A and B are shown apart, each in its own frame.
Chain A
């Protein structure tokens, strides 16, 4: 999370190129949206008992379970001017990368406003965006073999939200690549599919690079905030 924010801040200063970052949380963790209340979005007792940490994101949206062995997180850090001004249209433009990645893995997916990618009517990817004056950060999740039972135990949805979704459990409206294909792809296959998917979706040719010292340094400074109780329990 600290690195995503660091990259956005550096992009805003024009110090880094447009970037796609792919990463995996280790150990498994939960992230919650900037405006979410902790007690309404995660089961704290369950997290404590399982030793799963949680962190508040700088972006809005809902809570996400980042399964070490079944989820890849992506971040796109880019010039704002390269994407539609309308928020939902820009989500759609970036989510094309996920849709192409899922096609690479053999699944037909579609974008459902506001920020979801679904396969057979079930959510397989969610994204969240933060905008600065000149740049944007969109990060999101691709569930390829997430433990959905565990996901439904550690995440909470407000009762009003569940009612409007007309299902009682989170895991009934969420799916994974593994569940849809009948067998799990490897993490490496998912990462390769995401790289190809974003190249196709964004119409770019990506070049693999290491983190710069500046990115790493700024992320280390921001880490203190993301580790603080003040930040994580702000709501």
Chain B
């Protein structure tokens, strides 16, 4: 019997959080397996209008290639449509991209 070495891509999970004075708490959790994002979870005590857009963003991120350009492109499609109260859209973007960068560098 011949044995082959199989490489199983590792799951890498990174979380980032932020709370500005006078603002709300924001947490981003990102899971990457191989070259793909498998999960993005955004949580906290902020407000988002309309709230389903944030659920949609999480769903759309799952399956994307784990690279900055594609994720930035996706986030740009939400800018202006998604109103965040208590946190800034730029903070959300920064946390997601920082988490992504960390998964790539690991």
Contacts and interface: CB of A to CB of B under 8 A. Distances in A.
A34 B55 CA distance: 11
A220 interface: no
Interface residues of A, number: 28
A230 to B, nearest CB: 13
A113 to B, nearest CB: 7
A163 B46 CA distance: 17
- Identify whether the interface residues of B are mostly helix, strand, loop, or mixed: strand
A235 B41 contact: yes
Q: What band does the interface of chain B fall in when counting residues whose beta carbon is under 8 Å from A?
A: 20 to 34
B45 interface: yes
A235 B44 CA distance: 10
A115 B86 CA distance: 9
A196 interface: no
Given A87-B83, A88-B85, A161-B19, A62 B45 contact: yes
A114 interface: yes
Interface of B: 17-25, 27, 41-51, 54, 83, 85-86
Interface of A: 33-37, 40-41, 58-63, 87-88, 113-115, 128-131, 158, 160-161, 163-164, 235
List the 4 closest A-B pairs by CB distance, nearest first. A60-B47, A62-B45, A160-B19, A87-B85
